[in-house]
A and B are shown apart, each in its own frame.
Chain A
Amino acid sequence: MTVVLESRALSKRYGRRRALIDCTLSIPAGRVAGLVGPNGAGKTTLLNLAVGLLAPTSGTIEVLGGQPASSPEQLARVGFVAQDTPICAGLTVADHLKLGAKMNPRWGDGLARRRIGTVGLDPRQRAGKLSGGQRARLALTLAIAKRPEFLILDELVASLDPLARRQFLQGLMEAAVEHELSVLISSHLVADLERVCDYLIVLIESRVQLAGDVDGLLTAHRLLTGPRCDVSALPADWQVISASHTDRQSTLLVRTTSLVTDPGWAVDQISMEDLVLAYMSKAAMTPEVNRTLEVQR
């Protein structure tokens, strides 16, 4: 198994609203993949399609080589924590572990108990009385103790404070390494994912704008600073993602495979956060074009 998630021309429509358009992805196994994008970009829709909570309007999606949620075996291989970290308010922490044990054939009871112990959850406590962070930990414990091959987490870190967030992501990384998990995690907080992800998917306005290996993406994009120039006069293989100009200077983010040899440009590495933000502002600057295209179709 080399690919955990493969989608082709995947689209989802809610009535007249298009939540996901023509999404073609292939996420390799053994990665921690980050799905980033602004609020309302379609991240949750994509993840819900991946776990089979939603059915696509058109296109196909395969997870671990099978159709999402098509059989108990398929369900057992995928762990999921939804955005609002669902737990049953009336059940205790211990009840949740029992629920996991009863409903999942590969449940790791020792693993679950160990995790509950290390994150400091009282098994007798009612889940409805847990804080947001504790809820998130309980929900994650349920998903991990299920012993999935592929773990999908939707905005799980958003509800945590910065320290808890860091610990949480660290715990997630450890779990991923320990259990040889592939992980797909969505967030609108890019800085959090920067630390843990080695695969990146940028989803903006229902479309995948960028997807690939983080190292590869970071080396393919360069931040150039040089004398003010005309964007249309740049080399043909430079794909300009963003450009800002002052009276004397131009700052460009370009995607190119060739080396920048012109000594007039100062070349800088770009961080993942800057890269994502550049794509977001690019999408924000050209909404009219997109809309026109959609109307013409």
Chain B
Amino acid sequence: MMWLSWRQFRAQAIVAASGLAAVAIVLAVSGVQLADKFHTSMTGCQAHGSCGQFAYTFLTTVDGSGYQVVALISVGLIYAVPGLIGVFWGAPLITRELEGHTLSLAWTQSVTRTRWLAVKVAMIGLVAAATAGLLSFMLSWWINPLYEASAKVGAGDRVLSRLWPGEFGVNGSRRSDTRLSPSLSASHSVS
């Protein structure tokens, strides 16, 4: 039963894995650069005594750059992936068998229907959770310099919100302690 579920799901899993790998490459390359850029930007800030200013400068260079594009697309993906999984994996899970009339084949092998359904749902459920989890993990890692910078800019301020409308999608309630007002002005945050 495992074999059949996997065999039927293999093509979809390969598509998902390739997509994930492509995203991983983009995020890894740009993420390392972003972290580098952050560390370079912050060099000597302690001696200067204005780490907030340095961090703010860093954030403004990111704002509107290619990094922001990557960030927005990734956040879009975070929101889109569960829906896509539902459409391309969830919906055809049973309906494809109904449509192809293969239920009578699957249900007359020596495997009960309960087990058949359980294995199918468990397998796709696990792969779906792993896909979404991996994507979320990669993006959390990628975004970290921006959060660090943001934290240095000012207490409780939400510099990222300008850059980052979909923040919740990435980190959920991790940053729920920050103010939810997006009407942050740059001058306010620096002061």
User: A99 and B4: CB pair below 8 A?
Assistant: yes
Q: Contacts A53-B104, A86-B100: A104 and B1 contacting too (C-beta < 8 A)?
A: no
- What sequence of 0s and 1s flags, for each residue 1-41 of chain B, a beta carbon within 8 Å of any chain A beta carbon? 11110011001000000000000000000000000000000
Contact of B102 among A52, A78, A87 (CB under 8 A): A87
Distance in angstroms between the alpha carbons of A76 and B112 in the assembled complex = 10
User: A90 and B8: CB pair below 8 A?
Assistant: yes
Within 8 A of B (CB), among A49-101: 51-53, 69, 71-73, 75-76, 78-80, 82, 84, 86-91, 95, 98-100
Residues of A within 8 A of B2 (CB): 102
Residues of A within 8 A of B110 (CB): 72-73, 75-76, 103-106, 146
- What sequence of 0s and 1s flags, for each residue 104-121 of chain B, a beta carbon within 8 Å of any chain A beta carbon? 110111111101000000
User: A102 and B3: CB pair below 8 A?
Assistant: yes
Residue of B nearest to A103 (CB): B109
Residues of A within 8 A of B188 (CB): none
Residues of A within 8 A of B8 (CB): 88, 90-91
Residues of A within 8 A of B3 (CB): 98-99, 102
User: A78 and B105: CB pair below 8 A?
Assistant: no
User: B107 and A86: CB pair below 8 A?
Assistant: no
Distance in angstroms between the alpha carbons of A115 and B107 in the assembled complex = 23
Distance in angstroms between the alpha carbons of A75 and B8 in the assembled complex = 22
Residues of B within 8 A of A84 (CB): 101
| Distance from A190 Cβ to chain B, minimum over Cβ atoms (Å) | 25
Residue of B nearest to A77 (CB): B110
Residues of B within 8 A of A78 (CB): 108
Distance in angstroms between the alpha carbons of A95 and B102 in the assembled complex = 15
User: A103 and B112: CB pair below 8 A?
Assistant: no
Q: Contacts A87-B102, A102-B3: A72 and B108 contacting too (C-beta < 8 A)?
A: no
| Distance from A165 Cβ to chain B, minimum over Cβ atoms (Å) | 22
Residues of A within 8 A of B113 (CB): 69
| Distance from A61 Cβ to chain B, minimum over Cβ atoms (Å) | 15
User: A82 and B111: CB pair below 8 A?
Assistant: no
Distance in angstroms between the alpha carbons of A100 and B108 in the assembled complex = 11
Distance in angstroms between the alpha carbons of A75 and B115 in the assembled complex = 13
Q: Which residues of B contact A (CB under 8 A)?
A: 1-4, 7-8, 11, 100-105, 107-113, 115
Question: 7 closest pairs, A vs B, by CB?
Answer: A103-B109, A76-B110, A82-B104, A86-B105, A80-B108, A102-B3, A104-B110
Q: Which residues of A contact B (CB under 8 A)?
A: 48, 51-53, 69, 71-73, 75-76, 78-80, 82, 84, 86-91, 95, 98-100, 102-106, 139, 142, 146
Interface CB pairs A-B, < 8 A, 23 = A48-B104, A51-B104, A53-B107, A69-B112, A69-B113, A72-B110, A73-B110, A75-B112, A80-B108, A82-B101, A82-B104, A86-B100, A86-B102, A86-B103, A88-B8, A88-B102, A90-B8, A90-B11, A91-B7, A91-B8, A99-B7, A103-B111, A106-B110
